[in-house]
Structure 1
Amino acid sequence: MTLDVTTAAEAATGSPGAAGADRSTNRLAAHGLGLRYGNRTVVDGLDLELPGNAVTAIVGPNACGKSTLLRGLVRLLDPAAGTVTLDGSDIHRMPARSLAKRMGLLPQQPVTPEAVTVEALVRLGRFPHQRMLTPWSKADQAAVEDALTRTGMAELRDQHVDRLSGGQRQRAWIALALAQDTDLLLLDEPTTFLDLRHQLDVLDLVSDLHAQAGRTVVMVLHDLGQAARYADHLVVLKDGRLAASGAPADVLTAELVESVFQVACQVVPDPETGTPLVVPRARSRRAAAPAGPTAPTVPAAPAVLER
């Protein structure tokens, strides 16, 4: 979830950096950012600043560049144009190990090593903090224990990850990120393939990590209501460009939803939280039920069979 294989390989050759950055900063920004796959431009000329010490949700239609942007923000994809900065410093000029101590990525459908237990997976999060010939320390184990406890996975530490439910697997990967002890967590569609209960469990956990542990979180979501409910800051992409950004209450309007998603809707206050809730207009309406009490149904007379 957190330390992608590419980042891990870079970290192994990088020089150690200072840990424990001030979590009131952690400002990621893109400046004229262009990202491509081969000759295909996915993100084009993007200028964007994400607030530190906040939860940001990135939303937009399928194939608009959300996941690509996340990969560019964590240096897994080299920019074709522009730069990405973390607290004003170009991330491509930062030592790999320093960057791995500050940010981690949960990709879509992370690949679990075969027959690995929950605790063994979470211990991988300590990789950026290890050096050659350095023994496993009490601090390393304490970080693992804290991560297992925070995610509610301590009792499942000896279970194989590939035998867990979808929600439990997501929690195991989030525990790996916590053990890595990064200031920034970037999650690419962390609720994909989860039922509603497990979606809310994961989002509640992310919210708690921000509120209790001071993590800055950036996540890609599809559900606009969930994004508005759980995020302090909303980024809306369309065709690889920035359509809008800001507080959900300021950004999420019926006009924007129709323009970006081509869906006519109403935006009303969520009855639970007061945050914006998108209610699509019905494309086909059922016949309205009578307003008053209905007459009792009279059973049909039995059919008479002629001989």
Structure 2
Amino acid sequence: MSALTNAATNAGTNANRLAAHGLGLRYGDRVIVDGLDLELPGGAVTAIVGPNACGKSTLLRGLVRLLAPVAGTVTLDGSDIHRMPARALAKRMGLLPQQPVTPEAITVESLVRLGRYPHQRMLSPWSKADQAAVENALARTGTAELRDQQVDRLSGGQRQRAWIALALAQDTDLLLLDEPTTFLDLRHQLDVLDVVADLHDEAGRTVVMVLHDLGQAARYADHLVVLKDGRLAAAGPPAEVLTAELVEGVFQVPCRVVPDPETGTPLVVPRARVRTGTRASA
């Protein structure tokens, strides 16, 4: 089920609003994101898209304080995240990084339990609330039956759902995912995106995710952010943002944008390549 079903209800909420103000991010001397102004709606699913190396993952790292800005600020509900205590921020914001490193020989349940770290206190015992959060995360991601299996022995789709369960067990209202469908086949891509949509639809979580597939981004997101060369090319509802002109200008792909026959959301259809010459006769 698409997150679009709840767009009208959630898009106007004032909670869990991430924003960048004149944001500059770089690695060494290389500027990746330059002077970015951006507001992400609370209570919605936002997809960040753009060409390779345009700054999508770098932006996500900046939004979760993994990368310090060289200019500007990032705010959460108006507060500078770099002025917030780390544990307090971790209680509000969960992250699934790109290609997370799995601890050796760890089981699914043990991995998911790590999501409760922000809620732990020194010498405090594991509580019923902690276990309930873990059980809820396992159930919501369909990984309960995998709880005793080692994560590094799972399929790609199962492993990704286990990591989403960890982020969910963190029990935050804001969840950020960096390319959650990378290296997955189509079935497992849709499985993961359906889990994300359910988290939004059923639990009201605000979700921000980096995606490559424009059709999937339009189908699952309420709000679309398009980056080009570290700058904002467009932002807004997919039906308004995703045009043939934008796709050609940002991705250099001539195309048509037509309604998805299943959902009515924008679907990008690249124009047919013009072939020259003739086939050799048999």
TM over 0.5: yes
* Number of positions where the alignment pairs a residue of Structure 1 with one of Structure 2: 267
Q: Aligned ranges for residues 258-273 of structure 1 at < 5 Å? A: 258-273=248-263
Secondary structure class of the residue paired with 1:51: strand
Secondary structure class of the residue paired with 2:23: strand
Pairing partner for 1:104 from 94, 109, 116: 94
Q: Within 1, Cα distance between the matches of 2:132 and 2:275?
A: 57
**Does the Cα contact within 8 Å between 2:111 and 2:166 map onto a contact in 1?**
yes
Counterpart of 2:3 in structure 1 is: none
Q: What letter corresponds to residue 238 of structure 2 in structure 1?
A: P
Q: Within 2, Cα distance between the matches of 1:172 and 1:266?
A: 37
Q: What letter corresponds to residue 79 of structure 1 in structure 2?
A: P
Secondary structure class of the residue paired with 1:279: strand
Q: Aligned ranges for residues 277-292 of structure 1 at < 5 Å? A: 277-284=267-274
CA displacement at 1:284 relative to structure 2: 3.4
Pairing partner for 1:90 from 80, 87, 105: 80
CA displacement at 1:104 relative to structure 2: 1.3
The TM-score with structure 1 as length reference comes to 0.85
Counterpart of 2:162 in structure 1 is: 172
Pairing partner for 2:145 from 155, 174, 185: 155
Most deviating of 24-33 and 234-243: 24-33
Q: Within 2, Cα distance between the matches of 1:24 and 1:79?
A: 25
Q: What letter corresponds to residue 183 of structure 2 in structure 1?
A: F
CA gap 1:213/1:286 in 2 versus in 1, 3 angstroms: farther
**Does the Cα contact within 8 Å between 2:94 and 2:168 map onto a contact in 1?**
no
Counterpart of 1:5 in structure 2 is: none
Q: Within 1, Cα distance between the matches of 2:127 and 2:101?
A: 27
Q: What letter corresponds to residue 92 of structure 1 in structure 2?
A: H
CA displacement at 1:286 relative to structure 2: 9.7
Counterpart of 2:178 in structure 1 is: 188
Q: Within 1, Cα distance between the matches of 2:52 and 2:272?
A: 21
CA displacement at 1:186 relative to structure 2: 0.5
Q: Within 2, Cα distance between the matches of 1:110 and 1:78?
A: 20
Pairing partner for 1:27 from 17, 21, 25: 17
- Divergent runs of 4+, >3 A: 284-287
Q: Aligned ranges for residues 61-100 of structure 1 at < 5 Å? A: 61-100=51-90
Secondary structure class of the residue paired with 1:115: coil
Counterpart of 1:10 in structure 2 is: none
The TM-score with structure 2 as length reference comes to 0.93
Q: Within 1, Cα distance between the matches of 2:209 and 2:193?
A: 10
Q: Within 2, Cα distance between the matches of 1:132 and 1:284?
A: 66
Secondary structure class of the residue paired with 2:91: helix
CA displacement at 1:183 relative to structure 2: 1.1
Q: Aligned ranges for residues 38-49 of structure 1 at < 5 Å? A: 38-49=28-39
Is 1:223 the counterpart of 2:193? The answer is no
Residues 173-220 of structure 1: per-residue CA shift (max 9 Å, x gap): 000011100111110000000000000000011000000011100000
Is 1:127 the counterpart of 2:127? The answer is no
What is the CA RMSD across the aligned residues, in angstroms? 1.5
Unaligned ranges ≥5, structure 1: 1-22, 288-299, 301-307
Secondary structure class of the residue paired with 1:145: helix
Secondary structure class of the residue paired with 1:26: strand
Is 1:142 the counterpart of 2:107? The answer is no
Q: Within 2, Cα distance between the matches of 1:126 and 1:24?
A: 26
Q: Within 2, Cα distance between the matches of 1:106 and 1:173?
A: 7
Secondary structure class of the residue paired with 2:162: helix
CA displacement at 1:79 relative to structure 2: 0.3
Counterpart of 1:197 in structure 2 is: 187
Secondary structure class of the residue paired with 2:269: strand
The structure in which a higher percent of residues are strand is 2
Secondary structure class of the residue paired with 1:25: strand
Residues 274-303 of structure 1: per-residue CA shift (max 9 Å, x gap): 00000000113599xxxxxxxxxxxx9xxx
CA gap 1:178/1:24 in 2 versus in 1, 3 angstroms: farther
Residues 17-42 of structure 1: per-residue CA shift (max 9 Å, x gap): xxxxxx86100000000001011100
